[in-house]
Amino acid sequence: MTDLDEFEKKIIRELQRDATLTTAQIAERVGLSASPCWRRIDRLERDGYIRGRVAVIDRRKVGLRAHIFAQIKLNAHGRANLDEFSEAIRGFPEVLDAFVLMGTTDFMLRIVAADIDAYESFFFERLSKLPGVQEINSTVALSEIKSTNELPIY
Protein backbone atom coordinates (compact mmCIF):
# COMPACT_ATOMS: atom_id res chain seq x y z
CA MET A 1 0.00 0.00 0.00
CA THR A 2 2.39 2.73 1.19
CA ASP A 3 5.58 3.15 3.14
CA LEU A 4 3.64 4.00 6.32
CA ASP A 5 4.46 2.08 9.46
CA GLU A 6 1.80 0.97 11.95
CA PHE A 7 2.32 4.03 14.18
CA GLU A 8 1.87 6.39 11.23
CA LYS A 9 -1.30 4.60 10.18
CA LYS A 10 -2.64 4.94 13.72
CA ILE A 11 -1.69 8.62 13.78
CA ILE A 12 -3.55 9.24 10.52
CA ARG A 13 -6.63 7.42 11.81
CA GLU A 14 -6.62 9.53 14.99
CA LEU A 15 -6.17 12.81 13.11
CA GLN A 16 -8.98 11.91 10.69
CA ARG A 17 -11.32 11.41 13.64
CA ASP A 18 -10.25 14.56 15.50
CA ALA A 19 -7.63 16.96 14.16
CA THR A 20 -7.85 19.06 17.32
CA LEU A 21 -6.00 16.45 19.38
CA THR A 22 -2.66 17.58 20.77
CA THR A 23 0.50 15.69 19.90
CA ALA A 24 0.58 14.36 23.47
CA GLN A 25 -2.98 13.04 23.16
CA ILE A 26 -2.24 11.38 19.82
CA ALA A 27 1.00 9.91 21.21
CA GLU A 28 -0.87 8.37 24.13
CA ARG A 29 -3.53 6.89 21.86
CA VAL A 30 -1.04 5.33 19.44
CA GLY A 31 1.51 4.15 22.01
CA LEU A 32 4.39 6.57 21.41
CA SER A 33 6.02 9.32 23.43
CA ALA A 34 5.37 12.90 22.31
CA SER A 35 8.67 13.59 20.49
CA PRO A 36 8.63 10.60 18.10
CA CYS A 37 4.91 11.17 17.54
CA TRP A 38 5.54 14.82 16.62
CA ARG A 39 8.36 13.80 14.24
CA ARG A 40 6.04 11.34 12.50
CA ILE A 41 3.26 13.92 12.18
CA ASP A 42 5.76 16.43 10.81
CA ARG A 43 6.98 13.90 8.22
CA LEU A 44 3.40 13.01 7.24
CA GLU A 45 2.71 16.70 6.65
CA ARG A 46 5.96 17.37 4.77
CA ASP A 47 5.46 14.29 2.56
CA GLY A 48 1.88 15.30 1.72
CA TYR A 49 0.03 12.49 3.49
CA ILE A 50 -1.66 15.14 5.62
CA ARG A 51 -2.75 17.91 3.26
CA GLY A 52 -4.39 20.09 5.89
CA ARG A 53 -6.51 20.19 9.02
CA VAL A 54 -10.01 21.65 8.85
CA ALA A 55 -13.24 21.98 10.77
CA VAL A 56 -16.15 20.00 9.31
CA ILE A 57 -19.15 22.33 9.12
CA ASP A 58 -22.81 21.27 9.06
CA ARG A 59 -23.96 22.79 5.76
CA ARG A 60 -27.60 23.02 6.89
CA LYS A 61 -26.68 25.05 9.98
CA VAL A 62 -25.00 27.64 7.76
CA GLY A 63 -27.99 27.85 5.41
CA LEU A 64 -26.94 25.49 2.61
CA ARG A 65 -29.98 23.20 2.45
CA ALA A 66 -29.73 22.12 -1.21
CA HIS A 67 -27.24 19.39 -2.14
CA ILE A 68 -26.96 18.70 -5.86
CA PHE A 69 -24.94 16.38 -8.06
CA ALA A 70 -24.45 17.66 -11.60
CA GLN A 71 -23.19 15.59 -14.48
CA ILE A 72 -21.74 17.75 -17.23
CA LYS A 73 -21.09 16.80 -20.82
CA LEU A 74 -18.86 19.06 -22.85
CA ASN A 75 -18.97 19.57 -26.59
CA ALA A 76 -15.89 18.79 -28.72
CA HIS A 77 -14.53 22.32 -28.24
CA GLY A 78 -15.01 22.03 -24.45
CA ARG A 79 -13.26 18.67 -24.28
CA ALA A 80 -10.32 20.19 -26.18
CA ASN A 81 -10.13 22.89 -23.48
CA LEU A 82 -10.54 20.88 -20.26
CA ASP A 83 -8.10 23.13 -18.41
CA GLU A 84 -10.20 26.22 -19.09
CA PHE A 85 -13.37 24.50 -17.86
CA SER A 86 -11.57 23.05 -14.82
CA GLU A 87 -10.20 26.45 -13.84
CA ALA A 88 -13.67 28.02 -14.05
CA ILE A 89 -15.15 25.27 -11.84
CA ARG A 90 -12.41 25.81 -9.23
CA GLY A 91 -13.59 29.41 -8.95
CA PHE A 92 -17.15 28.51 -7.92
CA PRO A 93 -17.43 28.25 -4.11
CA GLU A 94 -20.73 26.36 -4.53
CA VAL A 95 -18.83 23.45 -6.10
CA LEU A 96 -17.42 21.30 -3.30
CA ASP A 97 -16.04 18.46 -5.42
CA ALA A 98 -15.35 18.09 -9.13
CA PHE A 99 -14.28 14.92 -10.89
CA VAL A 100 -13.27 14.20 -14.49
CA LEU A 101 -15.05 11.02 -15.60
CA MET A 102 -14.68 8.35 -18.25
CA GLY A 103 -17.84 7.45 -20.10
CA THR A 104 -20.76 9.43 -21.44
CA THR A 105 -20.31 12.31 -18.96
CA ASP A 106 -17.18 14.42 -18.69
CA PHE A 107 -17.53 15.86 -15.17
CA MET A 108 -19.36 15.12 -11.93
CA LEU A 109 -19.83 18.04 -9.56
CA ARG A 110 -21.08 18.09 -5.98
CA ILE A 111 -22.73 21.43 -5.36
CA VAL A 112 -24.39 23.14 -2.39
CA ALA A 113 -26.80 26.07 -2.41
CA ALA A 114 -29.13 27.81 0.00
CA ASP A 115 -32.14 26.24 -1.72
CA ILE A 116 -33.36 25.08 -5.12
CA ASP A 117 -34.03 28.67 -6.23
CA ALA A 118 -30.40 29.57 -5.47
CA TYR A 119 -29.22 26.51 -7.39
CA GLU A 120 -31.44 27.49 -10.32
CA SER A 121 -29.78 30.93 -10.42
CA PHE A 122 -26.31 29.35 -10.20
CA PHE A 123 -27.27 26.89 -12.95
CA PHE A 124 -28.61 29.45 -15.43
CA GLU A 125 -26.40 32.44 -14.65
CA ARG A 126 -23.02 30.74 -14.20
CA LEU A 127 -22.72 26.98 -14.72
CA SER A 128 -24.59 26.66 -18.02
CA LYS A 129 -22.78 29.71 -19.43
CA LEU A 130 -19.34 28.13 -19.19
CA PRO A 131 -17.74 27.67 -22.62
CA GLY A 132 -18.03 24.19 -24.03
CA VAL A 133 -20.96 23.00 -21.91
CA GLN A 134 -23.25 20.85 -24.02
CA GLU A 135 -25.47 19.26 -21.38
CA ILE A 136 -26.02 19.36 -17.62
CA ASN A 137 -28.02 16.75 -15.72
CA SER A 138 -28.73 17.74 -12.13
CA THR A 139 -29.80 15.36 -9.39
CA VAL A 140 -31.02 16.73 -6.07
CA ALA A 141 -30.07 14.72 -2.99
CA LEU A 142 -33.07 14.26 -0.70
CA SER A 143 -31.22 13.03 2.37
CA GLU A 144 -27.72 12.12 3.43
CA ILE A 145 -27.13 8.51 4.47
CA LYS A 146 -23.38 8.69 5.00
CA SER A 147 -20.86 11.49 4.76
CA THR A 148 -17.26 11.17 5.87
CA ASN A 149 -13.81 12.44 5.08
CA GLU A 150 -12.22 9.55 6.95
CA LEU A 151 -10.24 7.27 4.63
CA PRO A 152 -9.99 3.56 5.49
CA ILE A 153 -6.33 3.25 6.53
CA TYR A 154 -5.36 -0.36 7.21
Q: For residue 99, which amino acid is it? A: F
Q: For residue 83, which amino acid is it? A: D
Q: Mean per-residue pLDDT for 21-43?
A: 97
DSSP state of 34: H
Q: What is the distance between the alpha carbons of residues 124 and 121, in angstroms, rounded to a whole number?
A: 5
Query: Three-state SS for 66?
Result: strand
What is the chain's length? 154
- pLDDT per residue over 39-77, tens digit each? 999 999 999 999 999 999 999 999 999 999 999 999 987
Q: What is the distance between the alpha carbons of residues 137 and 133, in angstroms, rounded to a whole number?
A: 11
Q: What does the pLDDT read at residue 74?
A: 93
* Alpha-carbon dihedral angle through residues 44, 47, 48, 54, given to the nearest 10 degrees: 40
Quote the pTM value: 0.87
- pLDDT per residue over 119-130, tens digit each? 999 999 999 999
Give the pairing type, strands 95-100 and 107-113: antiparallel
Q: For residue 139, which amino acid is it? A: T
Structural domains in the chain, CATH included, are 6-46 (1.10.10.10), 66-140 (3.30.70.920)
Q: What does the pLDDT read at residue 4?
A: 95
* Percent of the chain clearing pLDDT 70 (strictly above): 99
Q: What does the pLDDT read at residue 93?
A: 97
